[in-house]
Every structure is written in C-alpha cells, then in structure tokens.
A and B are shown apart, each in its own frame.
Chain A
C-alpha cells in the first residue's frame, strides 16, 4: 500500500469556474481519509483528479514519492468504486470481478485465486455465478468493491458508494467497509456528503465547502474543536445551535439569556469585549435545569434520546436529552449549556479556549 500527497491542487474548468482551491493533503500509508461536504463543494472533483478522470489545473499529485499529476488513469494503480456500481450487466459476478485482470492478461489461475479471495472477504462466494441484476443493492456495491480489491491497487477511491442504498443497508455496508479497511490496511480516499459516514469511517476527515478545505482532522477533532462556523454546523446531527451574543463585562449577553463566562472563556474572549460573537452549543450539550427559559413546541422521541425543539424570544433551538420525554407543546422548561463554542462573527473562525 501507499502514501498519497496532494499539493496545492486546483481545478478550474474550461468555463473558468473554479471547483477546487489550493487543496493540500498528506495521506499516510493505510489511512482512511473521508472527504465530506455539501453537494457541489468539490469533493468528488478532487477524487476524480486523484483518479485521473479530471485534469489537474494546478498543483501536484504524488503517489509513493512519484509525481503522477499528468499520468493517465490506468498507470496510476488506483481503483475506484462508484455510487452507481458500474457493473457489466451481461457478465456474471465472477466475470465482473475478474474483468480488469483479464484485460491485463494475467495468469488465469492467479485471477481465479484473487477473485475467490475477494469474494470470500466480501461474502460473495455463493453469488459468483449470478448476474448483477439478481443481487441486492448492497451486494452489488460489494461486487464493485471486490472488483477494486482484486486489483490490489495502491489506493482505493470511493465516490459516495452508499448513497444508493437504504438506511439499514447503508449501516451494514459501512461496517463492511470499515472491516475491509482494517483487513486490507489499504490507503483509502472516501467521498461522502453524509457526516455520519464520515464520523464512523474516517481516520481523518477533510471537510470542504465551496471548493475550499475548511478543516482536516480526526472525527473527534472536527466534532470537539470545529475550526469555523461551517464545520461546526456541518458536523454533528442534529446540527449545532447558534446564537448571536455580545461579550459584556465577563458575561455573554443576548436577547434570550445571559450567563457568566468561565475564567478560561473570559481569557479567550477578552479582545471581543463589547463586540458581537457567535455562540455555538450542540444539542447534546444542552441539559435540563438551569436559568435559560425555553418554550417547547415539539418532541421527537428517538428511543434512547429525545429531540426537543423549542423557541426563545429570538432563537429557535434543538436540544437532545437522554431518555424519553413527552413535553406538551407550549411547556416552559429551564435549560443550561454544558459546553460552549465561540466563533468570531466577522471571520467565522473558532475562538480557541486555551
């Protein structure tokens, strides 16, 4: 397996639309990197540039210390798994998986061994004589992965492989991908717009928006210490609640509430005295009891937790309480914030608490 370096990668289309800006990433051997972001943020374009399906407008792509920026896709030794599986309908699963090796004119017995080994890993041994239309979506996606595995490529690329699957199947296939990664110890680049996939699969996440990298870090880093408002709002489900506040004499003040800042917060926010700041609180960091009043307007019981949607004078917020709650619409409850994030209102960057 291999390491991958993306250095100052940019993509500008012929119509002068820039899809990716100055993308830098150093992927270590055996690492699973997830590119996450909303539709149109440039994550698939980046992946396609790595695969060689899109030309690189500027920057360098290095695989195993070899510059492959202008190398054709077939010479890059990369395998890609697509969202729509891209299987040959007239071929059996065995033939689909063996096809790329047959094109390379590899020894038939070796091809056979590789296909059987991949089928064993993916639990497809009993399906090898079937055609793709006889398989479920999850099985088809496994075949697409099998086709990548048999090639033993340097790098695996996944372009939203679970998007066509239903929620339940998505969960099980996600676990399979994770197991596969652990088993193969392969370098993988995975694109998704689903943050749950990103958080559960990734060794590191690259969060993108409008062609720019917003933050690169472990799932915990992105969740716990988002670099800016975009990452804070994008990572986490339900999304973070935001409040426009002002710092006044060591207190955070807004129309709906005010609270005393901790000494650590005071120190970090000292230069924001009298200035507007954005306060971010994750729904799961809101607890029942405290001084902040909330009028409930709906409950969503998830079983292990309840999402409580409520309004303040100015803000609408979502709280996630552990356990089962049945608040009536209009009920008045008191809440407090366990953990708070602060963001510069002008730059949208996070204000780090030391």
Chain B
C-alpha cells in the first residue's frame, strides 16, 4: 500500500518537476564531445586530417552541440521527440569512432622523412573513451527521458479519465 502510494506520488511529482537528470546528462555529453574534438584538432599531425573530412567533422561537432543542447532543454519539459533525438545522437557518437580515430590509429604519416603512426594507442583509447562516454550519456538521457515522458503521459491520461468519469 505504502509502496503504491510512493509510486503514485513519484508519478504525480512529474507533473510539477522538470526532467533535470536527462538534461544534465546531455550537457555532460556535450562536455565529453568537446574533450574529444579538442584532442583531435590539437594533433601535431594535423595535415593528415586535412586530407580527411575535417570540415565535415567540424560542422558535425557544431551540429551535435546545437542539437544536444536543444534536446537538453526539450527533455527537461518532457518532449518525447527529443528523447529519440538524443538516442540518435548517442548512436552517432559511437559511429564516429570508426571514422576519424580508427583510421588515424591504423594509418601512418611521414614527417621529416620519419614514418610514424598518426594516432598512438594511448590517445586513441582516450578519444574513444570520450566518445563512448558521450554516447552513453546521450543514450541514457534519452532513455530516461523516454520512460519519464511515457509515464507522465499515461498518468495524465489516467487523471483525465478519472476526472471525466467523476463529472
């Protein structure tokens, strides 16, 4: 009985409180994304990346931050579409591992007659961690937002129904 009322109260609280958890997780995901691109762009073998799709990477980073920020605001007020967007952004962060970092890890570049690996294992591991954490945060935020939003919508429908039957 007590547990039931606690659960009910938890649902009722959603009507008046913002989804700050999802919102904050998303902002944290943006921070980890920033750590990722700072690590990549700071590279002393930058010329290697110029041959690649560095312009697209920059634009993607900007778009990621924009949409992630919009989503952090959207999920705060329980908008379902933003929880999906967050999950898509999270999946995108995983995919990014295979575009720049993995190629840089397996490729070599000759600088001053010396051939060297574009991205050493340590740095590769670090940027992967940044992207994975960013992805995990986005997906978790999206999942939490999805669950909370669905719960809230169902609860509100229930309330409407009981209000209707009473009148």
Contact = CB atoms under 8 A, between A and B. Distances in A.
Interface stretch (A106-114, A134-142, A178-186): A106-114
B9 interface: yes
B16 A109 contact: no
Given A112-B16, A128-B16, 17 more contacts: A92-B16, A94-B16, A94-B17, A95-B17, A108-B13, A109-B6, A109-B9, A109-B10, A109-B13, A112-B9, A112-B12, A112-B13, A113-B9, A115-B16, A116-B12, A129-B15, A129-B16
Nearest to A129: B16
Contacts of A116: 12
Interface of A: 92, 94-95, 108-109, 112-113, 115-116, 128-129
Contacts of A95: 17
Contacts of B17: 94-95
Contacts of B6: 109
A320 to B, nearest CB: 50
Interface residues of B, number: 8
Residue of A92, A94, A109, A128 contacting most chain B CB atoms (<10 Å):
A109
Interface in B1-40: 6, 9-10, 12-13, 15-17
A95 B13 CA distance: 11
9 contacts: A109-B6, A109-B9, A109-B13, A112-B12, A112-B13, A113-B9, A128-B16, A129-B15, A129-B16
A116 B9 CA distance: 11
Nearest to B10: A109
Contacts of B16: 92, 94, 112, 115, 128-129
Residue of B6, B10, B13, B15 contacting most chain A CB atoms (<10 Å):
B13
Nearest to B13: A112
Nearest to B6: A109
A33 B33 CA distance: 60
Interface in B124-155: none
A48 B120 CA distance: 66
Nearest to B12: A112
A113 B12 CA distance: 10
Contacts of A92: 16
A129 B10 CA distance: 16
A108 B9 CA distance: 9
Nearest to A108: B13
A95 B15 CA distance: 12
Nearest to A94: B16
B160 to A, nearest CB: 15
Nearest to A119: B16
A108 B15 CA distance: 14
Nearest to A110: B9
A94 B14 CA distance: 11
